[in-house]
Amino acid sequence: MAAIPTASAVRLEECDEPLLSPNPDRFCMFPIRFPQIWEMYKKAEASFWTAEEVDLSQDLRHWEHTLTSEERHFVTHVLAFFAASDGIVLENLAGRFMCEVQLPEARAFYGFQIAIENIHSEMYSLLLETYIKDSAAKSRLFRAIETIPCVARKAEWALRWIDASQTFAERLLAFACVEGIFFSGSFCAIFWLKRGLMPGLTFSNELISRDEGLHCDFACLLYSLLNAKLSEERVREIVADAVDIEKEFVCDALPCALVGMSARSDESVHRVCRRSASWGIELQQDVEA
């Protein structure tokens, strides 16, 4: 029988990682080696939804006649980032993590995540199509990673971790930051609008924020299973870098007239601090400084 090729090259120092070491049994789902990973997959499976479930019929009236210009400005920046960011997450999953991780139960989660990220991308595109009628403005928003500097900086930070030569642990943490830091502040901004307005936007935001929270928790779970974890200094460096970029995005995209948003944005920081225990550090003082 011909030898089964390995799925991807593994760094020498990562060969003893149970997640990454070559696994000739990776093509069969059972037996499950890590029940906690399988449980996460089943949670993702049970949370499946489609864009057709979201009713956008009332949103345009609220967008045109009820939201202030400052609110529309911020929402368009948030949607512009989200419309492209899910594609970046998809590229990392399909191009890196699916090839590197050798456990079938973890690959099952990633496969389902790829499907749901496509639905997120479709949903954000539909929202922009619904709200933005000017074709030039719409084109600018769909190309936000090239046309809007504060969006471009977030995208560039995420993209550099796809092609990077850093360890799997570093890249896993970086994409946990993408979904746990870059996304959370924007989710809070949309929740802030929830006062009976934009029901399609707010409902889709609830669904997507639930999904992304699970994706971030999954990254934290995988990190906890690594034998060779990052130094506390390196974790702080990666997380602080992501927090700084997110603060810059919020300051650029959020008009000062939207009072009350800072408290909601702080909620996303507190979520990150709670998750920091999974990375082996306490981030409370550092992130809030």
Rounded distance between C-alpha atoms, residue 188 and residue 269, angstroms: 11
How far apart, in Å, are the Cα atoms of 274 and each of 212, 271, 281, 282, 284?
16, 5, 10, 8, 8
5: tokens are 């090729």
Alpha carbon 57 to chain centroid distance? Answer: 27
Catalytic residue, candidates 41, 110, 124, 131: 124
Q: For 76-132, give the DSSP string.
A: HHHHHHHHHHHHHHHHHIIIIIHHH---HHHHHHHHHHHHHHHHHHHHHHHHHHHH-
Contact between 282 and 276 under an 8 Å Cβ cutoff? The reply is yes
Our answer to whether residue 41 is catalytic in this structure is no
Rounded Cα distance, 149 and 132, in Å: 20
Please give the positions annotated as active site. 124
